[in-house]
């Protein structure tokens, strides 16, 4: 096995162990109360309306955050792709929040977006609100607005960095050729810039979606208690005083894994479909 194979195996082994144990715990083969293979727990958990409400809420929140971050990354990459001092400064500022931990970003979002936070106090001082308490709920709200905005802001630098790299390495020569052939700005964007960008950004966007859907600390600080985000619901089941319910958490873990795997498979299906159309 070559070096790349060993590296892949090293990364995949902990995942495989975790998935195997989750399958065993979800089907009664491991964990508290293990008494042999059964699908009763899986059927019970997947039959709960609260679980699917949590799942769909998490999918919507992660998808919107990814969409916001991706759209902002494309706009930044296209708008600041030159070599001027302004463009270089804008690119540097765009990726500046990249090393900020998600926990710090979520805590800052609470302090800024909360009804007693910085934004509400500024609005009240400016006379836009009668008082900070009149600020629309952006934290702990059922719409997940605060969580979506925070995740979108936090994941934007990563996608922007990818977008900058994609255009710098793949798009410049093609656009110069199209320009020399008389293609206008809109034609260059539609036929070259956008196809190059989305092909390069799509794998990163899938990774961002999977991470956003599984981010616990951000959801614990910003998400509502009803419906609960899927990571929060999973930890709640795992730490339930009733040990018989601990296995429920492994069913939810497998559900989250299926969500991430579905996103990857959807990306691959779309990629192959587009490649066939391009031939």
Q: How far apart are CA 238 and CA 217, in angstroms?
A: 16
Region(s) of the chain under CATH 1.10.3720.10? 49-278
Question: How large is the average pLDDT for residues 147-166?
Answer: 93
Summarised one tens digit per residue, pLDDT across range 194-238 is 778 888 889 999 999 999 999 898 999 999 888 899 999 999 999
In this predicted structure, what is the pLDDT of residue 55? 96
Q: How far apart are CA 114 and CA 137, in angstroms?
A: 7
In this predicted structure, what is the pLDDT of residue 174? 63
In this predicted structure, what is the pLDDT of residue 140? 86
Question: How large is the average pLDDT for residues 116-126?
Answer: 82
Report whether pLDDT(1) > 60.
no
Report whether pLDDT(95) > 60.
yes
Mean model confidence pLDDT for the chain? 85
Between 239 and 131, the higher pLDDT residue = 239
Q: How far apart are CA 7 and CA 75, in angstroms?
A: 35
CATH number of 49-278: 1.10.3720.10
Phi first, then psi: what are they for 41, rounded to 5°? Answer: -65, -40
Using alpha carbons only, how large is the chain's radius of gyration in Å? 23
Report whether pLDDT(35) > 90.
no
pTM, two decimal places? 0.88
Model confidence at 136, pLDDT cuts 50, 70, 90, reads: confident
**Which ranges constitute the DSSP H helices of the chain?**
3-26, 40-46, 49-79, 85-95, 102-113, 118-125, 145-166, 172-180, 185-188, 194-214, 216-222, 230-238, 246-278
DSSP 136: P
């Amino acid at each position: 096995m070559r070096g790349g194979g060993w590296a892949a195996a090293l990364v995949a082994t902990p995942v495989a162990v975790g998935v195997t144990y989750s399958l065993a715990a979800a089907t009664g083969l491991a964990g508290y109360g293990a008494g042999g293979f059964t699908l009763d727990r899986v059927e019970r958990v997947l039959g709960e309306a609260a679980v699917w409400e949590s799942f769909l809420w998490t999918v919507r929140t992660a998808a919107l955050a990814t969409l916001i971050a991706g759209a902002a990354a494309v706009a930044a990459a296209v708008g600041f792709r030159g070599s001027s001092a302004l463009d270089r400064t804008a690119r540097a500022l765009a990726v500046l929040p990249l090393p900020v931990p998600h926990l710090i970003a979520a805590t800052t979002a609470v302090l800024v977006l909360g009804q007693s936070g910085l934004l509400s106090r500024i609005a009240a001082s400016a006379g836009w609100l009668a008082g900070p308490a009149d600020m629309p709920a952006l934290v702990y709200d059922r719409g997940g607005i605060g969580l979506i905005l925070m995740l979108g802001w936090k994941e934007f630098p990563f996608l922007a960095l990818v977008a900058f790299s994609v255009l710098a390495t793949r798009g410049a020569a093609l656009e110069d050729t199209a320009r020399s052939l008389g293609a206008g700005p809109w034609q260059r964007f539609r036929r070259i810039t956008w196809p190059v960008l989305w092909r390069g950004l799509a794998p990163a966007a899938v990774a961002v979606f999977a991470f956003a859907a599984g981010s616990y600390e951000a959801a614990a600080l910003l998400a509502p208690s009803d419906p609960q985000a899927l990571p929060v619901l999973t930890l709640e089941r795992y730490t339930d005083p009733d040990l018989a319910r601990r296995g429920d958490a492994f069913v939810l873990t497998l559900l989250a894994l299926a969500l991430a795997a579905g996103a990857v498979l959807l990306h691959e299906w779309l990629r192959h479909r587009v490649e066939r159309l391009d031939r």
